[in-house]
Amino acid sequence: MLPTKGYATHAAHEPLKPFSFERRELAATDVQIEILFCGVCHSDLHIVRNEWGGTIYPCVPGHEIVGRVVKVGREGRKFKEGDLAAVGCLVDSDRVCENCRAGLEQFCEGVSFTYNSKDRHTGGVTYGGYSKGIVVDQDFVLRLSDKLDPAAAAPLLCAGITTYSPLRKWKVGRGQKVGVVGLGGLGHMALKFASAFGADVTLFTTSEGKLADAKRLGAHEVVISKDDAAMQKQQKRFDFIIDTVSAPHDLNAYLTLLKRDGALVLVGIPPEPVPIHAFHLVTPRRQLAGSLIGGIPETQEMLDFCADRGIACEIEMIPISKINEAYERMLKSDVKYRFVIDMASLG
């Protein structure tokens, strides 16, 4: 086994702290990665604090991983030592089911997420990217162009793909009016992608102070969602709205902004259920849907698109010792617009 260090939490109400554990020895097609940077996703916070239920402790979070390949298994063909590599939310799946064959491994019944998931190699639980190193099968390791800054690319592995995938699936593009709800990690990437795809983009935010940033990131218009009169003016104007909000909020207020056949797609996952008024869906035949990250082929497509178009995340780099403080700031919507842990700080 390969000893490594990381940060873990041991109970829902405890802070993250240093934790020593082991990664598996390399199997034939495994890749061993020295982690350079790991993004901090709001899902890390939900899971660390057991807000969705099912957290297994100790929990080492982190699924926005960029690093350097230090070793490959004896049958490894995809990477060589020294390559830049990335790992997102997925590290394994059954490879044979309908979802896997469609490149949608995130929906496989046998999927292993990067942390807090069954680890079929060790029989234990997967540990994520708030650590020095990780061992992952090459099929779940992404190539990263050296045109991208590795730290600013790290959040593409979750915030990037989670917003890219539904925008592609609902064919968002030129001539469409698109809304993005919430300007955090996911929201800022949704603004960048929707505007790169040519849509007319409006941000809905609770934070008045984010107006100028939103415009710089690709919003053509910004609406303060607490302002009822401003919301009223937006009724029935939108083809597509992506909702990235992490806390409970009124979805009816966004459904009524959609035109006939418009879609409200949820990617944010507040822990509590929210009531929906059926009339808002039924009358102009609106759609309410959800979307979960993206499969491996689409994640590679998104990374290549970002390298081609010079798209990356706006980050605030932190040493790992500041992770508990970063979570508190994330809860106050005080993130511009993704924390990334510099793993060199782990010592």
Site for Zn ion, rule CB under 5 A: 41, 43, 158
Q: Which one, 73 or 166, has the nearer CB to ligand NAP?
A: 166
Contact of residue 67 among Zn ion, ligand NAP, none (CB under 5-8 Å per partner type): none
Does position 246 bind ligand NAP by CB under 6 A?
Answer: yes
What is the closest distance, in whole angstroms, from the C-beta atom of residue 189 to Zn ion in the complex? 11
Question: Given its phi and psi angles, is residue 168 left (phi above 0), alpha (psi -120 to 50 degrees) or beta?
Answer: alpha
CA distances 227 to 68, 206, 207, 208, 236, Å, are: 47, 9, 11, 11, 17
| Sites for ligand NAP among residues 200-239 (CB under 6 A) | 205-207, 210
Place of tokens 């109970």: 11
End-to-end CA distance of the chain: 20
Residue 102: phi and psi, rounded to 5, are -90, 5
Does position 41 bind ligand NAP by CB under 6 A?
Answer: yes
As given in the structure block, the two tokens for residue 182 are 């919430």
Q: Which one, 222 or 312, has the nearer CB to Zn ion?
A: 312
The answer to whether residues 105 and 322 touch, using CB atoms and an 8 Å cutoff, is no
- From CA 331, how far away is CA 134, in angstroms rounded? 28
Place of tokens 């941000």: 203
What is the closest distance, in whole angstroms, from the C-beta atom of residue 91 to Zn ion in the complex? 14
What is the closest distance, in whole angstroms, from the C-beta atom of residue 152 to ligand NAP in the complex? 15
Among 4-12, 129-137, 181-189, 191-199, the segment contacting ligand NAP (CB under 6 A): 181-189
- From CA 20, how far away is CA 7, in angstroms rounded? 8
CA Rg value for the chain: 20
State the number of binding residues for ligand NAP (CB under 6 A).
Answer: 31
What is the closest distance, in whole angstroms, from the C-beta atom of residue 218 to ligand NAP in the complex? 14
Judged by CB under 6 A, the residue of 100, 267, 311, 341 near ligand NAP is 267
Binding positions for ligand NAP, rule: CB under 6 A: 41-43, 46, 158-159, 162, 182-187, 205-207, 210, 244-247, 249, 267-269, 291-293, 330, 333, 335
